[in-house]
Amino acid sequence: MKYVSTRRKDKAVFPAQAIAQGISPEGGLFVPDELPKFSLKEIGEMSQMNYQDRAYMVLSRFLTDFTPEEIRSCIQGAYGEKSEPADKFGGNPAPIAKLCPDTYVLELWHGPTCAFKDMALQLLPRLMSVAVPKTMPGKKVCILTATSGDTGKAALEGFKDVPGTNIMVFYPQHGVSEMQKLQMASQEGKNVSVCAVEGNFDDAQTGVKNLFTNPELKEKLAAYNMVFSSANSINWGRLVPQIVYYFSVYADLLADEEIFLGEKINVTVPTGNFGNILAAYYAKEMGLPIQRLICASNRNNVLTDFIQTGVYNKKRPFYATTSPSMDILVSSNLERLLFALSGGDDNLVSCLMDSLNREGEYQVSPEVKEKLDEGFSAAWCNDQQAAQEIQRLFQEFSYLCDPHTAVAAYACRQYQETTGDKTKNVVVSTASPYKFPSSVLKAVTGENLQALTAQEEFSLADRLEHLSNAPQPLPLFQLREKPVRFTGYCGKEEMEQAVCAFLGL
């Protein structure tokens, strides 16, 4: 298999290079030149496998210049050799909770940082450690990442003390929860750095993209035998592990006799940067029986508007919400979907991205909009509606969820009520409720709560645990004892200086 850029498909690279490089030189994103296909028979066989074997079946189709032994080693390092209670994911990395006969919750937050990003970012550093020596022997890789909350900690944890790498994470100063901020600020490891950025996530993400395409900075890095790469979902090595858990949830539903082989399901995904739902789209295109993909957004509903109208317009107010990982107005991975829906038209994608950069908006053709309508629906909710959904799920099902999951559950219910679609629906849960204890406790009790410090968040987490009898994840509980290491801050125009200072350039 080879990979091409969404903005220039005439030059193809092998999988290891796509992962090591992270982004194409002209700013495009790497995608497979052709998606592998799975038969229903193969999907049925997955129901008898553990998560690691399912991951091997999927990843081996994409990582064709990795040896079977290399792929197996990466998977075992990320998820353990078997699904045992002692491993870092506490058993099955992607368990299912059943709410009612037609709605299930796919829990993706049982990893070391209690967010779905662990599913990919425990694997990516291992893929990178194989890919870089294959394609850039002797080079040291500097990982640059912008985060809206969860990616940063998961990337830092995944890459900490990985030989031949440095990692620097930028986050919006006032755009993450206190718990998320403390997770990053207390990160261990000799090769890590964290810096707050003035502005919102889009400012941080745009700054990182500009650093990747800065020729003078690339030359400076080359003089020190360094190269940039990414841990954001713009890196294919971040996206491909996410495809696995959609095959896995279908296989688990089969094994539990909740569906029959070939029965179609709907999937509702809370998304900001569009990577998580894009992975579900790829799984569908690979043969997984998915009927509709429901894109769930918070008040920053740029994706809802795009899916419903075909117009993407980032020129709108930015809102800081209780679901901060979705507070995004420029969804990077949508570029990959545009490439797929346009039949691989790299010139069209380049024009659309140029229009977005220059004018702040673009509109897709009727043909692309028609294909979008065939597979996607969208809904959004505000903070109050998300809080009501948290309360509803707790009261009706004794199920405790975080605000991002609540956005998805609300969108799922709205879709079902509006359309009358009785297809079984999987709601993707992306973070532990204990990452946002003040928001969740406030929603459950109706009290007017606000945590201004991490210590206040811990107190509210204790109250939430007592009320719900749902235990706090150990990684979050242990944060109270960890010292703060990083307090750096920079303006969005000063990100290059911050990187150079960290790398000693």
Of 276, 345, 254, 357, which is closest to residue 315 (Cα–Cα)? Answer: 357
CA dist., res. 383 & res. 387, Å (int): 6
Of 15, 2, 28, 34, which is closest to residue 336 (Cα–Cα)? Answer: 28
CA dist., res. 203 & res. 169, Å (int): 13
Give the residue ranges of DSSP H helices in 296-425: 302-309, 334-341, 346-359, 366-375, 383-397, 403-419
User: What three-state secondary structure class fits 130?
Assistant: helix
Q: What are phi and psi of 198, to 5 degrees?
A: -65, 130
CA distances from 334 to 116, 182, 286, 312 (A): 19, 30, 18, 10
Q: Do the Cβ atoms of 379 and 406 come closer than 8 Å?
A: no
Rounded to 5°, the CA angle 153-158-164 comes to: 120
Residue linked to tokens 């403390």: 182
Residue 172 has what DSSP assignment? Answer: E
Of 180, 191, 193, 187, which is closest to residue 148 (Cα–Cα)? Answer: 180
Cβ atoms within 10 Å of 369's Cβ, excluding its own: 18
Residue 432 has what DSSP assignment? Answer: -
CA dist., res. 409 & res. 428, Å (int): 8
User: What three-state secondary structure class fits 145?
Assistant: strand
CA dist., res. 2 & res. 7, Å (int): 15
pLDDT in tens, the chain (505 residues): 999 999 999 989 999 999 999 889 888 999 999 999 999 999 999 999 999 999 999 999 999 999 999 999 999 999 987 544 446 787 789 999 999 999 999 999 999 999 999 999 999 999 999 999 999 999 999 999 998 878 899 999 999 999 889 999 999 998 888 888 999 999 999 999 999 999 998 899 899 989 988 999 999 999 999 999 888 888 999 999 999 999 999 999 999 999 999 999 999 999 989 999 999 999 999 999 999 999 999 999 999 999 999 999 999 999 999 999 899 999 999 999 999 999 999 999 999 999 999 999 999 999 999 999 999 999 999 999 999 999 999 999 999 999 999 999 999 999 999 999 999 999 999 999 999 999 999 999 998 887 777 888 899 999 999 999 999 999 999 999 999 999 999 999 999 999 999 999 9
Single-letter amino acid code for the residue at 129: S
Residue 416 has what DSSP assignment? Answer: H
